[in-house]
Amino acid sequence: MLSIIVPCYNEEATVALYYEELKKYLPELGEYELLFVNDGSKDETLKKCLEIKAQDSNCRIIDFSRNFGKEAAMLAGMSVAKGDYVVITDADLQDPPKLLPEMLKILKADEHLDSVATYRVNRKGEPVIRSFFARCFYKLINKMIDINIVDGARDYRMMTSRMVKAVLSLSEVNRFSKGIFAWVGFETKYLEYENVERAAGETKWSFWKLFRYALDGIVGFTTIPLRLATIAGLLVSAFGFIYMIYIVIKALAFGDPVAGFPSLIVIITLLGGIQLIVLGILGEYLAKTYMETKRRPVYIIRDIL
Ligand code: UDP
Ligand code: MG
């Protein structure tokens, strides 16, 4: 059986469109279950999902008590899914259902393969600045961590139940799935496709939300920024030490009385800046540790329909 997980947040305009498109490929997928995760939508998403459920007995709806974010929705879907194969897909048709039969076929054909993932070959239709920062992010994070996160990789991926089990065994509360999928390992095949623009409605990601997401990804997967902070501290101290020797020698040799005021200001602001950055980095990790120690559930299910 194949479990199709569809996280939905304010997707009243797209769920029906998604189902219409999906329906074309369902006969090729064999036994399936369709799991909508209603992530605390404030619009009519739940009603639209219920309408689909009325026509399709293989459809279930996980209804959250409020909006917990897509990471939580994916996690809930995976915990509830019963399929031997599990696929996560957006409701806005940016993850074309057309690929599903192919993904399933590839996965079934190869014993050693546990996941078929997708990535976009281009970012057509996306703001240029966003694409630029996204590229930088992938370069940066891949330099810092041992595992490889593919640039442009989507969350659209089909996995075997054993890989899902591995993903679920990671109990962290701050979840960065792109990293987790790579971290658990398993043989993954990547399919590429052209970027598709959202069918209707609008994206839930503002620039700052994406920025936070990127930071969460880095903090969640590597402690290298902490080490960089130490190194920056060492470099600055070394510089200060050398400068001190220079001043002492200069004073002894030339009897230079008062060093310049501007240089003092420069050094004070530079040091102040570096200290604050280092504190900020520490704070990021401390905050994450704090949230993790609370062991709060990642999501709360109001009802499963
Ligand atoms: N989504 C969600 N919870 C959220 C935000 C988004 O379940 O808090 C879902 C959304 O309904 C969609 C998918 O995650 O099915 C991807 O969201 P979106 O299309 O806004 O992201 P983008 O494709 O622009 O990266
Ligand atoms: Mg989208």
User: What is the Cα 279 distance to its own chain's centre?
Assistant: 25
Tell me the per-residue pLDDT of 267-304, one tens digit each, with 9 for 90 and over.
Answer: 888 888 888 888 999 999 999 999 899 989 999 999 99
Tell me the per-residue pLDDT of 163-188, one tens digit each, with 9 for 90 and over.
Answer: 999 999 998 988 999 899 999 989 99
Pair 14, 36: CB distance under 8 Å: no
Provide the pLDDT for residue 71.
93
Which of 62, 90, 126, 155 best tests ligand 1's pocket when mutated (most atoms within 8 Å of CB)? 90
Q: What separation in Å is there between the alpha carbon of 74 and the centre of ligand 2?
A: 14
Atom of ligand 1 nearest to the CA of 203: 20
Alpha helices in the chain (DSSP H): 15-23, 26-29, 45-55, 70-80, 100-109, 128-144, 161-169, 177-183, 207-221, 224-254, 261-294
Q: Find the ligand nearest to 45 CA.
A: 1
Domain boundaries, given as residue ranges, for the chain: 2-205+297-304, 224-294
The answer on pLDDT for 249 being more than 70 is yes
pTM listed for this prediction: 0.84
Measured CA to CA, the distance from residue 255 to residue 258 in angstroms comes to 9
Provide the pLDDT for residue 259.
63
Mapping DSSP onto H, E and C, the string for 235-266 reads: HHHHHHHHHHHHHHHHHHHHCCCCCCHHHHHH
| Chosen CATH of 2-205+297-304 out of 3.40.50.1820, 3.90.550.10, 1.10.1060.10, 1.20.1530.20 | 3.90.550.10
**In sequence order, what are the residues at sequence separation of 6 or more whose Cβ sits closer than 8 angstroms to the Cβ of residue 305?**
50, 53, 60, 61, 63
Tell me the per-residue pLDDT of 81-124, one tens digit each, with 9 for 90 and over.
Answer: 999 999 999 999 889 999 999 999 999 999 899 999 998 887 77
Q: Which residues surround ligand 2, an ion (CB under 5 A)?
A: 90, 92, 94, 198
Highest mean pLDDT among 61-75, 128-142, 148-162: 61-75
Pocket of ligand 1 (CB under 6 A): 7-9, 11, 39, 67, 69-70, 73, 90-92, 94, 198, 203-205
